[in-house]
Amino acid sequence: MTAIDVHNVCVSYGSVQALHDVSLQVRAGEFLTVLGPSGSGKSTLLGVISGLMEPSSGAIEVGGRDITALPTHHRQMGLVFQNYALFPTMTVAQNVAFGLKVRREDRATIQREVERALALVRLDGYGTRRVQALSGGQQQRVALARAIVINPTVLLLDEPLGALDRKLRQEVQVELRELQRSLAITTVMVTHDQEEALTLSDRIAIVNNGRIEQVGTPDELYAKPVSSFVANFLGTSNEVRGRVSREGYGARFTDGDLSFACEVPRFPGNEAIATIRPESILVEPAHSTTQPGIVHARVRDAIYLGGNTRYHLQLESGHQWVALSRPDHPIIRRGADVALTWSPEAVWLLDPSTPGAIE
């Protein structure tokens, strides 16, 4: 069931077009993240859904009802912003109660709903405190409580964890996902943080230059990107342009001196872009293996990351790639000659002339 339906939305600011004919469906109860770089149009899309911005053309439906012309305060949506937008002179409870007071709810209802919302975000007993006396993580929870206290049909989050340090952000991510699941509330979040999107989302919509490049589950987008932009924005990808030809029961990708096996594409012999994720590449000392299909390289740099080591490599063909070692492999030092191997299944082919991948 579709909760939010964005139909062919365009947004223009004079001669600048922020959104180009964007269509997107958000399923009921799912956590969908709109992911993209700064200036990609992701916050504009959230603004249009919330009613804070008007589309130049197109329509927004929620639950099958056209709300394009409906004011923000009539859309039954909860909003959380990066800076939280809390009232510094009010207590925690007064901040959370704000939306209910605007709706002229009675005092008993306000007290009951505020206590319920604070309990959901694990801030029981914090109602009388001033928000300025709270930590960043606690302020973020107050903003969440204020958004959910009105029992919205949709929760909209605009970079909600951007102000938190890394450790606290990871902790709040878990809490936010648990809260969203317990309420089964349709949630749309905007972020530029790939790890955050992968951690929280049921599906991700990747936006670039005002257009949606791809929508899918985190594993779909990571394993089968439809474009070079998606492959490189969601993680790191080694890319090379060349040609694919049939070889026995499989296929071979070739670019000058670089050649390796890959799965059979739909159109053998076509030009293609081969993408290989760093963690798919096995890095071994050059003298330790003689198996066929080896690609030789030299370690330009080896960066220890705790759980693994990131290698910056100079291939014999001249290409510069990145690989991630397995945690149990010894570190190979800078300047060493290495042998690289990967499975044909690790190679994902993209059509350089269209946004679709060659399957």
Length, in residues, of the chain? 359
Query: Whole-angstrom Cα distance, residue 154 to residue 338?
Result: 52
- pLDDT of 319 reads 94
Q: Which CATH number fits domain 2-232: 3.40.50.300, 3.40.50.720, 2.130.10.10, 3.40.1190.20?
A: 3.40.50.300
Q: Which of 78, 48, 70 is nearest to 151 (CA)?
A: 78
The predicted model gives 186-206 an average pLDDT of 95
CA atoms within a 13 Å half-sphere pointing along the CA-CB vector of 204: 27
| CA 185 from centroid of its chain's CA atoms | 19
DSSP string, 139-196: HHHHHHHHHHTT--SEEEEESTTTTS-HHHHHHHHHHHHHHHHHHT-EEEEEES-HHH
Contact indicator for 255, 317 with CB cutoff of 8 Å: yes
- Give start-end residues of each CATH 2.40.50.140 domain in the chain: 236-350
- pLDDT of 357 reads 47
Over residues 218-257, the pLDDT tens digits come to: 999 999 999 999 999 998 999 999 999 888 888 999 999 9
The predicted model gives 111-125 an average pLDDT of 93
Its pTM stands at 0.90
Average pLDDT, the chain: 91
User: What φ, ψ does residue 71 adopt, rounded to 5°?
Assistant: -60, 155
- Give start-end residues of each CATH 3.40.50.300 domain in the chain: 2-232
CATH topology of domain 236-350: OB fold (Dihydrolipoamide Acetyltransferase, E2P) (2.40.50)
